[in-house]
Amino acid sequence: MSEIARRSEFPDTRGWIRALPARAASAPAFEPAVSAPAFDPAPTPQETFLRWLTDAVEAGIAEPHAATLSTVDPSGMPDARTLLIKDVTDDGWWFSGDDRSPKGRQLDTAPAAALTVYWRELGRQVRVRGPVLVGPLEVCARDFRERSVFARAVASTGRQSEVLADPAEYDRLVQERLTALEHDPEFVSPHWTAWCVAAGTVEFWQADPGRRHLRHRYRRKGDRWAAEELHP
């Protein structure tokens, strides 16, 4: 069992997700997936996702809230990176970052994305696709302030993914921001953004040893969800 408290012990889903460990772990030896709980889909994909995330937490999977975010650049070339899901609400799946980063620039020109979550040990994955919305200022500010002081300093340099000619430059920029945060601990970077994938489709995939994989897809129809099974 995981040492992380149960979701019911937190005031909201964001608080629970924020408490999940986000640290490197030794990769486990490859072995057949452990038995996943029986699939019993809920009325909405958010509810089903949180059930599966809870299963992953209780199975002791490292960083169970990690996901691959896929976007496209202005030329249509796909791009992807792994990040942490920050919240799951009725609106969708939330993640965050600096709007000057590659993903921020890509989402500004093409505000749509796919999130892929894979729990190898359980033989499960989830695919979320849809338009991406910018969250309100208070959500962006909360997300920024929930980061550690060092993480806030790094984020507020605004240099993510730029060429680093001299490692000393990085140290200097971060130290400058650390000093600034000491004098203004309530500072929130105006570039820090909380984005939400407002899913149009969400697919849940569960492996089967006989290759009869289970695929359950939700499709948004107005203000409700339609569910359907897919061929493996």
Binding residues for FMN: 81-86, 103, 125, 160-161, 205, 215
- What is the spatial distance between Cα 83 and Cα 86, in angstroms, rounded to a whole number? 9
Q: Which amino acid is at 187?
A: F
- Token digits for 180? 């600034």
Per-position b or e across 17-46, b if 16+ CB within 10 A of its CB? bbebeeeeeeeeeeeeeeebeeeeeeebbb
With a CB cutoff of 8 Å and minimum separation 6, the contacts of 69 are 80, 81, 82, 83, 95, 103, 113, 114, 115
SS3 track for 81-143: EEEECCEECCCCEEEEEECCCHHHHHHHHCCEEEEEEEEHHHCEEEEEEEEEEECCHHHHHHH
